[in-house]
Amino acid sequence: MNMTRKLLPVACLLAATAAPATRASADNLSATPASAPLQLEWDARLRHEQVDDDAFSRDARADTLRLRLGLRANFGSGWSGLLEGAGVASAGEHYNSGANGRTQYPAITDPHGGELNQAWLGWQNGTFGAILGRQRLLLDNQRWVGNSGWRQYEQTFDALSLQWQPLSALNVRYAWLDRVHRVAGPDALSPPARERRLDTHLLNLAWTQGAQQWTGYAYLHEDRDVASASTATWGVRWSGSALRGGNGPGWTLEAARQDDYANNPLHFGHDYWLLEPAWTQAGITAKLGWEHLGGNGRHALQTPLATLHAFNGWDDQFAVTPPGGLEDRYASVAGKLGRSGFAGKLGWALAWHDYRADRGGRYGSEWNASLSFPLAAGLSGLVKLADYRADGFGRDSAKVWLQLEWKGRQALADAR
């Protein structure tokens, strides 16, 4: 038994996620601007990742440090801007980063190097906002559009994004994407893995009433570098909860249709749906889920702009949906180790997935677990694991992560 599988029982004692990672966070348009006219922002992340994949004779091991550093300016009269760079350092090359050619190892897509992460100028008043430039975009739970924030490089877009809130309950968002910068970084050996030229239109309308939200969306995605990735996706989503005293039911229901679009030489139509009832009791949330990504045996529904690691298991077996499609049926539970004190700050999660084809047999199953804990102001730790057992798709694979992350901001000039 190699080192990664030896680490799994140890990590299980420390960890115990429900929903596959944090799926929602503030993006550039929705974030509250800081009052300081100029401030420094940073996000430093130290991570050890180890992969035991039975398709390879060697385990992969990556020790990487990512520093994201930005200058945010507030010019007044609603104008603001951000200039942000990211650099990744690695200790050793015992993994396939996508840029180092070490294909004898399993993939860990965290290459060393540096890049411009964000550079945008924005304007916002009470009801309308606009951002032009390289930016982070997060829509809904990031199933269709996100930043893939789990990797050391994140996914960003050269885009024009608009947000309009004509009513307090209605939020309308539109974005035109010219280019996507992918998590493999600017030095990836495969050019499409670095960035892709797009002509993509995203429209998202959300109505919020109390603890419920109804969303309709149309994502017309044209990939000018990989024509077979161009798709039109139309969908609706309903999420909410009915808690009393912090206890009670919650739910997410979503349905979508994806067809070929623009320059795509293929012809297809695939269905998507998600059913996810939940129940919260005494601070612990349990969920059952059924996510369907349609396939016809030759081609399947894809989500190339999504935060992929957050869905269908952390082992990332299904970052590309197999031609036969995917049925992911899962159960998860998450909460805090205590109701107060330090134990009340320790977040644990556990999830189990059963994977099957839309057309065909069974793919396999997977366990995920994590434990997150605060260490100091802005500093947090994470222990996380994934254990995939193949039953017709891929090979057995296990992954372990140990991580420290430090985030902060510091005003460089006082507000007046």
As a whole number of angstroms, the distance between CA 294 and CA 81 comes to: 41
Residue recorded with tokens 């009670």: 248
Is residue 325 within 8 A of residue 357, CB to CB? The reply is: yes
Nearest to 312 by CA among 375, 250, 364: 364
Query: How much is the pLDDT for 341?
Result: 83
Sole residue written with tokens 């004779």: 57
Is the entire prediction scored with pTM above 0.85?
A: yes
Cα dihedral 363→367→373→377 (10° resolution): 0
CB count in 10 Å sphere of residue 337: 16
Q: What is the pLDDT of residue 6?
A: 44
What is the predicted pLDDT for the residue at 225?
A: 97
The residues, any chain, with a CB within 8 Å of residue 76's CB and separated by 6 or more, are: 37
pLDDT (tens place) for every residue of the chain, 416 residues total:
354 444 444 444 444 333 333 333 345 544 444 578 999 999 999 999 999 999 999 999 999 999 999 999 999 999 999 999 999 999 999 999 999 999 999 999 999 999 999 999 999 998 999 999 999 999 999 999 999 999 999 999 999 999 999 999 999 999 999 999 999 999 999 999 999 999 999 999 999 999 999 999 999 999 999 999 999 999 999 999 999 999 999 999 999 999 999 999 999 999 999 999 999 999 999 999 999 999 999 999 999 999 999 999 999 999 999 999 999 999 999 999 888 888 888 999 999 999 999 988 999 999 999 999 999 999 999 999 999 999 999 999 999 999 999 999 999 977 55
Residues paired with 272 in a beta bridge: 256, 293
Reduce the DSSP state of residue 187 to 3 states and report it.
coil
| All structural domains of the chain | 3-413 (2.40.160.10)
Residue matched to tokens 């608009």: 162
Are the C-beta atoms of 357 and 326 separated by less than 8 Å? Answer: yes
Phi, psi for residue 232 in degrees, rounded to 5: -115, 125
Q: Report the pLDDT value the prediction gives residue 15, as an integer from 0 to 100.
A: 40
C-beta pairs of 366-370 under 8 Å, 24+ apart in sequence: 366/313, 366/314, 366/315, 366/317, 368/17, 368/20, 368/313, 368/314, 369/11, 369/12, 369/15, 369/16, 369/17, 370/15, 370/17
Predicted confidence at residue 34, as pLDDT, reads 55
- What is the predicted pLDDT for the residue at 265? 97
